[in-house]
Amino acid sequence: MASRIYFDHSATTPIDPRVMVAMEPFLNGSFGNPSSLHREGRKARAAVEKARAQVAALLGADSSEIVFTGSGTEADNLAILGAVPANDGPSHVVTSSIEHAGVLEPCRFLERFGTKVTYLPVDNYGMVDPQSLHRALCAETRLVSVMAANNVIGTLQPLAELARITKQHGALFHTDAIQAAGKIPLDVNQLPADLISLSAHKLHGPKGVGVLYVRRGVELNPIVFGGGQERGLRSATENVAGIVGFGAAAALAREEMKEETTQLVGLRERILARLRVTVPHAYLIGHPVKRLPGHLCLGFKGLEGEVLKILLGLDEKGVAVSSGSACSAHHAGNPSEILLAMGFDPERARGSLRVTLGRFSTDDEVNRFLEILPRVLDSLKPAGNRREQPLNVEIGETQAAG
């Protein structure tokens, strides 16, 4: 029996075996508390600091600018609520209309306490226009938060320009780079971001550990209180094994990013090229070029309302994909807020299939996927009165309106 095909790497990635090797001593034997002064504690502290340096190197940052958290979502919350506390006087936050819930929910929380929040629109590629940010800024703007890469459609934002406009205005700039880190270069010496969120399990590290990069000189208020770990910004005994795993995963991503990107883009483009022939009613969602290397978001003309059946049909055949963000799976029957923001009508906004490749994806898996997907789609018999639109990586102008 053929092994299952895992094409849902934007939800989570399998832990790299080399990361597991790095973590193992701290799961079995080296159990010290990094705050303890004895030998076991010092060993744990040294491991945490090595990992801090490894994550910092991925961003071109200094180790002192890395704060470990319990997740990427917690890092997002710390960035937003730490920079703009509730009930802290007149304030304004700018974000995009297609952010992850880890950003949108703390923004909505702040709105309940009087903070004004502007949600920037996106075009039909899912991209923010830097001029819309420029127009949104005002005297009370304290923070701008725009994600580096969207978790559903894979579109990359014009991050450097957005950060530059924000800094010229004098506000702080935060980016949720949880999907992007380890997949595209992020260098804080070139990107004027003040705050960057990361998560280990998106780059072949363990779940349950995140990072917030905090540029030197930026002041934040903690949202977790206790013993003062992580420079007082994240009190709690450190998850040593998880942090070690994050460090190892970051080091591998830094070393192998260029080669891995080439591999993933090649596999991605091969899928697109073949689907143009075998699935003429498929279309690409998101930017055709400015997208994550292993990320595809697909729609199927006439089958948008059947995406759950497509997903389950693929699952039955041994292929794991998703219909959007794993964090929104409990709203799977609802139109995607991201696709609605891009101009899709409610019917088409229900119907995207996210196919995301990773480090261990193979040519054989792609070949098998390309055989299985058309069979699953054919079994659903798209309505004959639907206009077919070939998959074309240059169809961005028509994808939302079609």
Q: Is the dihedral of CA 224, 229, 233, 238 positive or negative?
A: negative
Q: What does the pLDDT read at residue 397?
A: 37
Q: How confident is the model at residue 338 (pLDDT cuts 50, 70, 90)?
A: very high
Q: Are 200 and 249 within 8 A, CB to CB?
A: yes
Q: Are 388 and 282 within 8 A, CB to CB?
A: no
Length of the chain: 402
Q: How confident is the model at residue 384 (pLDDT cuts 50, 70, 90)?
A: very low
Q: Tell me the CB-side half-sphere exposure of residue 185, using CA atoms within 13 A.
A: 10
Active site residues: 327
Q: Give span(s): CATH 3.90.1150.10, the chain.
A: 5-12+256-399
The Cα 289–Cα 393 span in angstroms is: 8
Across 200-216, average pLDDT? 98
Q: Give span(s): CATH 3.40.640.10, the chain.
A: 17-253
Q: Are 281 and 301 within 8 A, CB to CB?
A: yes
Across 353-374, average pLDDT? 97
What pLDDT digit, counting tens, does each position of 221-250 carry?
A: 999 999 999 999 999 999 999 999 999 999
Q: Which residues contact 103 (CB under 8 A, 6 or more apart)?
A: 76, 80, 95, 145, 147, 176
Topology, domain 17-253: Aspartate Aminotransferase; domain 2 (3.40.640)
Side chain identity at residue 103, one-letter code: V
Q: Which residues contact 312 (CB under 8 A, 6 or more apart)?
A: none
- Work out the mean pLDDT of the chain and round it to a whole number: 92
The Cα 45–Cα 28 span in angstroms is: 16
pLDDT at 401 over 60: no
The Cα 179–Cα 126 span in angstroms is: 15
Q: How confident is the model at residue 351 (pLDDT cuts 50, 70, 90)?
A: confident
What are the structure tokens assigned to 60, written together?
């071109």
pLDDT at 382 over 70: no
Instruction: Return the CATH number of the domain spanning residue range 5-12+256-399.
Output: 3.90.1150.10
What pLDDT digit, counting tens, does each position of 259-306 carry?
A: 999 999 999 999 999 999 999 999 999 999 999 999 999 999 989 889
Write the burial class of residue 225 (CB in 10 Å: 0-12 exposed, 13-18 middle, 19+ buried). Answer: exposed
CA angle 358, 155, 338 (to 5 degrees): 110
The Cα 228–Cα 225 span in angstroms is: 7
Residue with tokens 């080669």: 259
